[in-house]
Structure 1
Amino acid sequence: MSAYEELETGRETDYTVPALQRGLSILQMFNARQRTLGTSDIAERLGVSVSAIYRIVHTLSEMGYLRKLAKNTYELGPQVVSDGFSYLASRDIVDLALPHLNALRDRTSLSCHLTIREQTDSLYLYRAFAAQRLSVNIPIGTRIPCHCTAMGRILLSGLTAEELDVLYQHVRLDDYPPPAPKTLPELQQLVDGDRERGWVLHRSDYSTAIAAGVRNHLGEIVAAINLSGPDAVMDSPESQARYLAALLQTAERISAELGR
């Protein structure tokens, strides 16, 4: 019998998943006033035994949605914030950056892009495309390994040396063509220089890109922007200095709107 026929005869199938329903109900129990809960409290609110929720709580903890504080006591884990707000935060950055990047594109006649970091990838969220021949045009949604691009390296410069080491400890770097670094020590050395300089210039495939970081109210790098165009346009030191000044000014303006 089809779903339509079931509805017509008043016999709807129950497609709910009890374990999933309980897991989401557990997460919803936490709020500003109720920051911690014990397993007995959770079980009592759900009207079940502690043993009935043990595997659900364990799974939520393993996935980072709950954090164990003490024996049988939990609080919300970092994954709740990451999943709940990363998309919204990225949209906020796009909305704030869009007019600034469009103005930078119009001022320089070069393409501009906005990215955020997702693990070891640079995710492209916005592009202000320059309508000229040989313009660099990377589609929104593109993912490129961070260590291969100017914006990716800027995003990595927001990490500490320890965080960078943990992020790349199981990642192979020798499968990418030059000028990408081939080893973790080489990447660390590059990122150290990028962090000190505050911007990155990168050449590849007859094009040049200059990237800078966008910072939040805590001064943390949360996104990167760039100016990119053909080598013929960006090759001279005078041109690079002019474009870099415009890029840094734009990065400061976007950061200011984020509360920097």
Structure 2
Amino acid sequence: MATEDDGDRYRAPALDKGLDILELLAGTADGLSQAEIAKALDRTPNEIYRMLDRLVRRDYVRRTPEDRYEITLKLFELGHARPPTHRLISQAMPVMRRFALQAEQACHLVVQDRNILVVIAQVDGPGYWNVSIRVGSRISLINTGSGHVFLAYASAEERALMLEERRLGSVETMPRGLEARLEGVREQGYENMPSAQTAGVQNLSAPIFGPLGGVIAVLTCPYSQRLDKLDVPHVPQTLSLLLQSSREISQRSTLSA
């Protein structure tokens, strides 16, 4: 039977130090200075300087213009091929492929981590052209359909944290009229808005609910009207297909929990 001494036999102090820093920063909303990290871990600033430098160089931690340190999404991105993200992608992909075929439009799946949205899956439409976004892309909360859905279903406290612009050390304020728009998203259960990035594209976004009732992802279709075909689904039909797909993915997520 292992004893406490057995557990300490293979200690790796440098690794422990790095993990302590990551765990500390993961639980901090505003980032910490080198001195604050050292104090929290009961170490001297010089003792952790080299470890912080390596974590920054390997992109696990970023240093802000205010000389504070904050954790990045690299660990999240490394884990995105593992459950539960891998399970969510596996559940969603067949539904997304069916939607893309029926709607003849591309679609993508977005998850949220603090104030950053990340595209974790994407499916092209069946034609030779698409309006699509690369997997791994980071997108805005404020001016995207996916962001509006996440904000709409968040509590007031969660929304304040989501809007916090950690990279600049300031708070990203909501544009005038956005609160009313988010209320509309909550009432109707989806977002339907012109793209703020691409002319002629209509962002259709619907929430994916987890087993506890919260929004765990958003399914978005960057809808663009075909000029060469008249028999393809228009916005109302595409939105209906998108909502059916989001409900099916939500159901699969709940049943597999």
Per the normalisation by structure 1, the TM-score is: 0.60
Structure 1 outlier segments of 4+, above 4 Å: 22-25, 82-87, 169-172
Any conservation in 1 of the 2:106–2:132 contact (CA below 8 Å)? yes
Most deviating of 186-195 and 87-96: 186-195
2:236 corresponds in structure 1 to: 241
The within-5 A match list for 1:155-194 is: 155-169=150-164, 183=174, 186-194=177-185
**1:22–1:189: structure 2 CA closer, same or farther, 3 Å change rule?**
same
The within-5 A match list for 1:147-226 is: 147-169=142-164, 183=174, 186-204=177-195, 205-226=199-220
Larger-gyration structure (1/2): 1
1:55 matches 2:42: yes
1:106 matches 2:96: no
Any conservation in 2 of the 1:164–1:188 contact (CA below 8 Å)? no
Post-superposition offset of 1:134: 5.0
Q: Matched residue pairs, number?
A: 182
2:252 to 245, 254, 257: 257
**1:239–1:131: structure 2 CA closer, same or farther, 3 Å change rule?**
closer
Q: Matches of 2:154 and 2:208 in 1, distance apart?
A: 14
Q: Matches of 1:220 and 1:92 in 2, distance apart?
A: 17
1:91 matches 2:86: yes
SS in structure 2 opposite 1:209? strand
Post-superposition offset of 1:182: 6.9
Post-superposition offset of 1:166: 3.4
SS in structure 1 opposite 2:42? helix
For the aligned residue pairs, the C-alpha RMSD in angstroms reads: 3.4
Per the normalisation by structure 2, the TM-score is: 0.60
Post-superposition offset of 1:133: 5.5
> Which amino acid in structure 2 is aligned with residue 55 of structure 1?
D
Q: Matches of 1:18 and 1:171 in 2, distance apart?
A: 30
Any conservation in 1 of the 2:225–2:234 contact (CA below 8 Å)? no
Q: Deviations over 1:123-148 (max 9, x none)?
A: 11111101435521111001111211
Post-superposition offset of 1:114: 0.5
1:145 matches 2:140: yes
Any conservation in 1 of the 2:204–2:223 contact (CA below 8 Å)? no
Q: Matches of 2:117 and 2:150 in 1, distance apart?
A: 8
> Which amino acid in structure 2 is aligned with residue 203 of structure 1?
P
Q: Deviations over 1:42-93 (max 9, x none)?
A: xxxxxxxxxxx9727xxxxxxxxxxxxxxxxxxxxxxxxx969775322211
Post-superposition offset of 1:257: 0.7
Identical aligned residues as a percent:
21
- Structure 1 unaligned segments of length 5 or more: list them: 1-15, 26-52, 57-81, 173-180
Q: Deviations over 1:2-57 (max 9, x none)?
A: xxxxxxxxxxxxxx8415337869xxxxxxxxxxxxxxxxxxxxxxxxxxx9727x
Post-superposition offset of 1:185: 5.7
Q: Matches of 2:205 and 2:164 in 1, distance apart?
A: 25
Post-superposition offset of 1:115: 0.5
Any conservation in 2 of the 1:134–1:230 contact (CA below 8 Å)? no
Q: Matches of 2:155 and 2:95 in 1, distance apart?
A: 29
**1:170–1:102: structure 2 CA closer, same or farther, 3 Å change rule?**
closer
> Which amino acid in structure 1 is aligned with residue 122 of structure 2?
R
